[in-house]
Structure 1
Amino acid sequence: MNQAIGMIETKGLLALIEATDTMVKSSEVHCLGKKQVGGGLNTVLITGDVAAVETAIQAAIVSVQRLGEGLLTASHVIPRPAIDAKAFVDAGNIAEEPEENEPEVVVVEAIEIKEPTETIEPDPKEKLLHELQQMKVTELRKLAKEQPNISIPHKNIHRTNKEKLVKALTDILIINE
């Protein structure tokens, strides 16, 4: 069986993972590892027989180009190499733990937050109380004088403070609703 090595160079980790996944799934190839070139460039190396490596590289090219323009920077296949490709790949294998200087990738699941479908109406008494508290004392006194069954004697309404007016109006208006 004639062995070959294949290389894909991408911009960014996402494109590198997409390329590696596609290559391993599309042909009978094995991943030798990856190399961070710098400036966001990453290279992944695969090995297998010549036809399988060529097929895997072509599939990865199409897959990375689907992700977006400019993510694929280079690709190459070397049939029957006279060198040991593994020597070019540092200890940072895809399946290994990240090195001390290499940031660890953490996957966080997205949580969908749904808006409530029904609105909760405030308690009518609380709503009325709030509206009355927003009114001026003169407005409350005028409203109190218009109420025939208010608990405050009509002759004392002009001297009653805001707190007592709000309580008396709340009591009578809630009963009338």
Structure 2
Amino acid sequence: MNQAIGMIETKGLLALIEATDAMLKSSEVHCLGKKQVGGGLNTVLITGDVAAVETAIQAAIASVQHLGEGLLAGSHVIARPDVDARSFVEEVTKIEERKAPESKEEHIEIIEVTEMIEQEPKEKLLDELQQMKVTELRKLAKEQPTFSIPQKNIHRANKEKLIKALMDSLIINE
């Protein structure tokens, strides 16, 4: 039996459910899983013999297009992939898990500042805050449970105001 992998990407969960239902009802295929891509995009992967996967993908395309305009983001069939379908999905999942968060460096800096608060005096804290960029200060400010500047106004605050409010907030939280 020649295996294939089929993928449908939709905008919204409703379209994803409709596509999955159509694929599983239309031919002898198995669902490998779904992935929430982000920005409202969702992908579902199926496997089966090449003809069954192609039939299922066509049924899903028709079903999602019938549901509404613009809900189908994409579709693709990989006939006879070089790897087993389940291994393929497992490898993709491993790659996703290994990806570092976008703001890992900034997150480390925020943790270091938080740890420093517990260990160092006010002067050291003030010095560290003054060395930070405004964008870093804003991120730190947004993480504070009690903060004198409203969340919606943090993006407008200048460095001086952010440092003063952070000092007040961080010293209170000690």
* Bigger Rg, which one: 1
Question: What is the aligned partner in structure 2 of residue 87 from structure 1?
Answer: 90
Structure 1 pair 50–37 and aligned structure 2 pair: CA distance change class (3 A): same
Structure 1 pair 78–17 and aligned structure 2 pair: CA distance change class (3 A): same
| Contact 1:34–1:89, Cα closer than 8 Å, also in 2 | no
Structure 1 pair 55–13 and aligned structure 2 pair: CA distance change class (3 A): same
Secondary structure in 2 matching 1:81: coil
Deviation per CA, 1:53-86: give whole Å up to 9, x if none: 0000000000000111110010000001113332
Question: What is the aligned partner in structure 2 of residue 25 from structure 1?
Answer: 25
Measure the CA separation in 2 of the matches of 1:2 and 1:33. 20
State the number of aligned residues. 91
Question: What is the aligned partner in structure 2 of residue 122 from structure 1?
Answer: none
Greater fraction of residues in helix:
2
CA-CA distance at 1:87 after TM superposition? 2.0
Query: How is 1:1-177 mapped onto 2 (pairs within 5 angstroms)?
Result: 1-83=1-83, 84-87=87-90, 90=93
Question: What is the aligned partner in structure 1 of residue 127 from structure 2?
Answer: none
Please, what TM-score do these two structures have when normalized by structure 1? 0.49
Q: Structure 1, unaligned stretches of length 5 or more?
A: 92-177
Secondary structure in 1 matching 2:43: strand
| Contact 1:2–1:50, Cα closer than 8 Å, also in 2 | yes
Please identify, of 13-22 and 78-87, the stretch whose mean Cα deviation from structure 2 is larger.
78-87
Measure the CA separation in 2 of the matches of 1:89 and 1:12. 22
| Contact 1:35–1:90, Cα closer than 8 Å, also in 2 | no
Deviation per CA, 1:136-160: give whole Å up to 9, x if none: xxxxxxxxxxxxxxxxxxxxxxxxx
Measure the CA separation in 1 of the matches of 2:28 and 2:73. 24
Secondary structure in 2 matching 1:8: strand
How high is the sequence identity, in percent, across the aligned residues? 82
Question: What is the aligned partner in structure 2 of residue 110 from structure 1?
Answer: none
Aligned-residue CA RMSD in angstroms?
1.6
